[in-house]
Structure 1
Amino acid sequence: SLTSTMRGRIKKDESTGRYEIHLGGVKNRLRDILSSSRIIFVACGSSYHACLAARQVVEELTDVPVSVELASDFNDRKCPLFRSDTCVFVSQSGETKDTLESLSYARGVDAVTVGVVNVVGSEISRQTSCGIHLNAGSEIGVASTKAYTSQIVALVMFALQLSHDRNSKDARRQEILAALHEMPCQIESSIKRIDEVTRRLAKSLEQSTSILLSGRGFQFATCLEGALKIKEVSYTHTEGIHSGELKHGPLALIDDNMPVIFFAASDNTKGHIQSALEQVLARQTSGTFVIVCPEDDPDMLKYRGNKCEIVEVPKTADCLQSIISILPMQLLSYHLAVYRGHNVDQPRHLAK
């Protein structure tokens, strides 16, 4: 699905080695978006988490303030909007009721509206000023998996398109574009190994009643989405917590019966993550402790042992690491559900 999302949009000039990006769906409104006083992402569920995952890189590349809103909360508050705002509405189906209500409100104040959807001809795609189609293909199951990763890719490409003529961002843009180009091959070469590790991990967690996920920076969204996936399909109470918030209460939950999964990345949050996981390890004498981290990271591999399971994933650009780091959680939720005899595609009480 990632290949389909990027097909025809990211191209490499073989003579220069440079990458270029072209998003035809937003091309005619680029000037309006770039002149915005702020960019507001509005979404629900997994789409909301995808917006959180992309927020930092959009801010970095555009130098425009970015906020992320839950559509239902946005509607309750009637958040002040102005014509100078750009609102980006993200929805797999393009028909999410709360998101459509937010879109109607944004249109009422004449804000620039952008749709990021997977269904051509959907209500959001028809009502927005411009947009990006995911091209991820039909997603039959209720739980969003390939649509989620494609949404992050689409939003990162959106940021890359907005910064296409900024020389000061060129080196960073080329780094991200090259990483996007390589990502499908990285995932294909490692997915079987990750699946084997998560299958074994799921077996050890089969009797667990609660799981704690923690990370920060680009990986905070991974915690929230991973927790949602496990809750959705395996019916296991799971909580995603920002690592910086552990000391403000959640550490009280830690004991030998609380499985903990940390997400680490090779970026400026690594030191903070190490500090947080050391605090958790000091409070566990046994139990399940897992670190999901980029391959061959000596700072994380040193924790491998009887007390700690390491799930290594391919290393990519920091702003894209969440796309790869979510894969073990998607597979873990699947295997947990299978071991418990649940219908993975049709979780109880939920509908797409």
Structure 2
Amino acid sequence: PLMAEKGGYRHFMLKEIYEQPRAIADTLAGRIREEAGDIYLEDLDLDDETLHSMDKVNIVACGTSWHAALVGKFLTEKLARVPVEVDIASEFRYRDPIVTSRTLTILISQSGETADTLAGLREAKRKGGKVVSICNVVDSSIARESDGVIYTHAGPEIGVASTKAFTTQLVALVLFACKLGRVRGTLDENECRLLGEELVKLPRKIEEALEQDAAIEEVAKIYMNASDFLYLGRGNQYPIALEGALKLKEISYIHAEGYPAGEMKHGPIALIDEDLPVVVLLPNNETREKVISNMQEVRARAGQVIAITDLDDRLVRDNADHVLTFPGIRDELMPVILSVPMQLLAYHVAVLKGTDVDQPRNLAKSVTVE
């Protein structure tokens, strides 16, 4: 009977990884007004005037949701041109954060019950700020106490390591950044329409990304006994490097670190030897050549490079031990696509090591204590 619940998948986590195309389609459903070049968020409950008056955004979350928040900073600053600060919830509430009536605090929580995030929400409200939450569980504590909410509609997530809840949070953040950009006049109707068109393509692109599953499993077989992993990314891919490292830690119990690629020379390069696999996120954008130079530095020190890219050319092949290729999409949405290989790599390593993928040791699905 349990296998039936898993729909034929070996674990809930794998099932939930494969549910992402549908989950993302559900997050988008009814929210993109392509003809008007606008975004409709049904439970936002903040009028345009209030949104327009916000001069600062705080995004507060824990764990994987905090990685989504870091991507949200890139999105909101780029599309809405408003300064964004990202905080880990357990830190935010104790640092006497600067919140005014013109500060919007966004709380991100899959369960909507995360203790520290809920406390952060109350702190922001106590200081007179407006709060919007991004939650999966309808009518949860955080959703109820917020001025507005964006539900991700990912459906129940059973696996402790978050997958579809994370990618749908990223999509919700794109929708919100577009909405704020439209209200603030920093994103015109046409640009919003173009982004909307790309968003609608995401479910199909995620399906294409999932076709690399077997290739990722082969890479996992090679490195399953590594004692450490390094994940590198730049720009909006740096949080995805952090997320990849967290996934591996959570379910395979291998020590892993995510780093901004440009920081490698400021310390982590000392760790590189023939025993260190380095996962490099390499989207085809303006920092591509810089990241390739990081790959060259790793190879020069006998490190093993696993390149995750949407442009597989000679330059990548010459500087990587393994190349995994994924569909490209505009840069704001690449973090969603490159999350998939992060999830699958961690999953396959964990399965090969024989850990309890859906219920990793010492972890709880929802952290409701401080």
**Where on the TM-score scale, by shorter chain, does this alignment land: which range?**
over 0.9
Residue number in structure 2 paired with 1:25: 43
CA contact (8 A) 2:72 2:170 kept: yes
Residue number in structure 2 paired with 1:9: 31
2:76 to 58, 70, 81: 58
Residue 299 of structure 1, CA deviation: 4.2
Structure having greater relative contact order (Cα 8 Å, sep ≥ 6) = 2
Residue 168 of structure 1, CA deviation: 5.3
Change (3 A) 1:83 1:218: same
Residue aligned with 2:229, SS = strand
Residue 167 of structure 1, CA deviation: 6.8
Residue 190 of structure 1, CA deviation: 3.5
CA contact (8 A) 1:116 1:151 kept: yes
d(CA) in 2 for partners of 1:58, 1:118: 20
* Count of aligned positions: 342
CA contact (8 A) 2:134 2:149 kept: yes
- State the AA in 1 paired with 2:322: E
Matches within 5 A, 1:141-220: 141-164=159-182, 166=185, 169-192=188-211, 194-220=212-238
**Kindly, what percent of the aligned residue pairs are identical?**
38
d(CA) in 1 for partners of 2:350, 2:148: 39
d(CA) in 1 for partners of 2:313, 2:191: 22
Give the stretch that moved more between structures: 239-248 or 25-34.
25-34
Query: Does residue 318 of the first structure (1) align with residue 331 of the second (2)?
Result: yes
Give the stretch that moved more between structures: 126-135 or 169-178.
169-178
- State the AA in 1 paired with 2:258: G
Q: Which runs of 5+ in 1 are unaligned?
A: none
Deviations 1:149-188 (A, max 9, x none): 0000001100111122537544443332221110111121
- State the AA in 2 paired with 1:182: K
d(CA) in 1 for partners of 2:326, 2:156: 26
d(CA) in 1 for partners of 2:311, 2:264: 26
Residue number in structure 1 paired with 2:348: 335
Deviations 1:255-285 (A, max 9, x none): 001111110112222122122222111111x
Deviations 1:8-61 (A, max 9, x none): 112444xxxx75421122253332222112000000000000011121121111
Change (3 A) 1:328 1:35: same
Residue number in structure 1 paired with 2:259: 241
Residue aligned with 1:90, SS = strand
Residue aligned with 1:181, SS = helix
d(CA) in 1 for partners of 2:153, 2:120: 24
d(CA) in 1 for partners of 2:120, 2:199: 31
Q: Which runs of 5+ in 2 are unaligned?
A: 1-22, 366-370
d(CA) in 2 for partners of 1:257, 1:249: 17
TM-score normalised over the length of structure 1:
0.93
Query: Does residue 72 of the first structure (1) align with residue 94 of the second (2)?
Result: no
d(CA) in 2 for partners of 1:345, 1:209: 22
CA contact (8 A) 1:33 1:112 kept: no
Residue 295 of structure 1, CA deviation: 4.0
d(CA) in 2 for partners of 1:288, 1:279: 11
2:149 to 127, 131, 147: 131
TM-score normalised over the length of structure 2:
0.89
- State the AA in 2 paired with 1:9: R
Residue aligned with 1:164, SS = helix
d(CA) in 2 for partners of 1:151, 1:237: 26
